[in-house]
Structure 1
Amino acid sequence: MKTLTAISTTLLIAGASLVSFTSSAAPMSSYMESALVDTCKAAMSNNTLRLNKTLKAHRLSEKTVALGVVCNGEDIITFAQNHGATKTADHMAQSIGSASITDIASVEIVTYQVNFITSPE
């Protein structure tokens, strides 16, 4: 009985991992990639006005971006901090808000990752 339970648990975890891997590996449209690169560049600029204009232009919410966008392998807040953009990092961190309780089983987390070459403008 313990063996059956262990096998079932292993298969369940492997299936969940496969589902999360395939959803994050989905191809992205050129518009979405452009929007994400613009968002990462705006976060790196340390200009909250530019960040807000970029988010508004692409109709993105600050909370969704703060929780789901990955720039060059780092979440957007860490990415901004590592590039010396403390104003935009703090602004994005404030948009997350307070803690809340969510049923994880009913939520599908989708993250979008974009890699680009950082060059001064």
Structure 2
Amino acid sequence: MKTLTTVTTTLLLAGASLVSFNSSAAPMSPYMEDALVETCKAAASNKTLRLSKTLKAHRLSERTVALGVVCNGEDIITFAQNHGANKTADHMAQSIGSASITDLAAIELVTYEVSFVTSPK
């Protein structure tokens, strides 16, 4: 249990130190914005295969997306749940792994936020 907590904490710290993103940074590239919008739409689709294919196509890891993507002001798991996509929400929640206690003031978390309008079906 202690090893799992140590590994989880180490991965979070390593991820935060590799990429830093803050509000004063330059706007994201159109490619990155399109990739994140496609990811949010795939999460809301309730199709785990579509979500996996989208993440693979853009070379994004499920864990990074689950921890760092914000869709229309909500984290991606909550966004999927609010759109009735419980399969994809559960899939993303499982990719996070077990819970651990982390001092958030001590690390800088990476988040990417994208807003978009969905067209009626």
Do they fold alike, i.e. is TM over 0.5? yes
**Which position in structure 2 is the counterpart of 1:92?**
92
**Which position in structure 2 is the counterpart of 1:12?**
none
1:29-48 deviation digits (Å, cap 9, x = unpaired)? 00100000000000010000
**Which position in structure 2 is the counterpart of 1:5?**
none
Q: Residue 36 and residue 101 in structure 1: after superposition, are their counterparts in 2 closer, same or farther (change >3 A)?
A: same
Unmatched 5+ residue regions in structure 2? 1-19
Instruction: Give 1 or 2 for the bigger CA radius of gyration.
Output: 1
1:65-99 deviation digits (Å, cap 9, x = unpaired)? 00100000000000000000000000000000012
Q: Residue 86 and residue 23 in structure 1: after superposition, are their counterparts in 2 closer, same or farther (change >3 A)?
A: same
Percent identity of the aligned residues? 81
**Which position in structure 2 is the counterpart of 1:48?**
48
Unmatched 5+ residue regions in structure 1? 1-19
| Matched position secondary structure for 1:23 | coil
Separation of aligned partners in 2, 1:35 and 1:82: 21
**Which position in structure 2 is the counterpart of 1:117?**
117
Give the structure, 1 or 2, with the largest relative contact order (CA under 8 Å, sep 6 or more): 2
Shift of 1:103: 6.1
Separation of aligned partners in 2, 1:67 and 1:37: 16
Q: Residue 83 and residue 103 in structure 1: after superposition, are their counterparts in 2 closer, same or farther (change >3 A)?
A: closer
| Matched position secondary structure for 1:24 | coil
Asked if 1:83 corresponds to 2:88, the answer is: no
What TM-score, normalized by structure 2, do the two folds share?
0.75
**Which position in structure 2 is the counterpart of 1:67?**
67
**Is contact 1:24-1:111 (8 Å) kept?**
no
RMSD, aligned α-carbons: 2.1
The number of residues matched between the two structures is: 101
Separation of aligned partners in 1, 2:39 and 2:24: 20
What TM-score, normalized by structure 1, do the two folds share?
0.75
